[in-house]
Amino acid sequence: MIRAEVRRRGGEIRSLRVSGHADAGPYGHDLVCAAVSAVVQTAILGLREIDPDAGPGEIRDGDVRWQGSAGPKGQAILAACVVGLRDIARSHAGSLSLSEKEESS
């Protein structure tokens, strides 16, 4: 199962971590893994290009991490990523678990 965790502070996304594998198909042909990877990696790459002050994030096989403070454009990128993850989690609940938490200041 893929586990995705989004943490917010004051409504702003402050961290994103996605790890694991969906195991929804053979390696290299797992559509859930491919969808999650595309959504999350595009967000991290978008942050690097559009809001580089937000921090580079890390992309490794089966593990993506970002933590920082993104500006308005970066927040829009991250929010779009979360919308995509929510949709995938609804459609494939047995393959993707999404946790969203609001942290106190």
Is the pLDDT reported for residue 3 higher than 80? yes
The residue segments making up the domain with residue 43 are 2-103
Q: 0.85 exceeded by the pTM?
A: yes
Into how many domains does the chain fold?
Answer: 1
Provide the 10 A C-beta neighbour count for residue 20: 16
For 83-103, what is the mean pLDDT? 96
Distance CA 76, CA 67 (A): 15
Is the pLDDT reported for residue 99 higher than 90? yes
Distance CA 45, CA 43 (A): 5
Distance CA 56, CA 35 (A): 21
Is the pLDDT reported for residue 105 higher than 80? no
CB 105 within 8 A of CB 8: no
Q: pLDDT tens for residues 15-74? A: 999 999 998 888 888 999 999 999 999 999 999 999 999 998 999 888 999 999 999 999
Q: What is the domain-level CATH number for residue 11?
A: 3.30.70.1490
Is the pLDDT reported for residue 12 higher than 70? yes
| Strand spans (E) along 21-81 | 58-60, 63-67
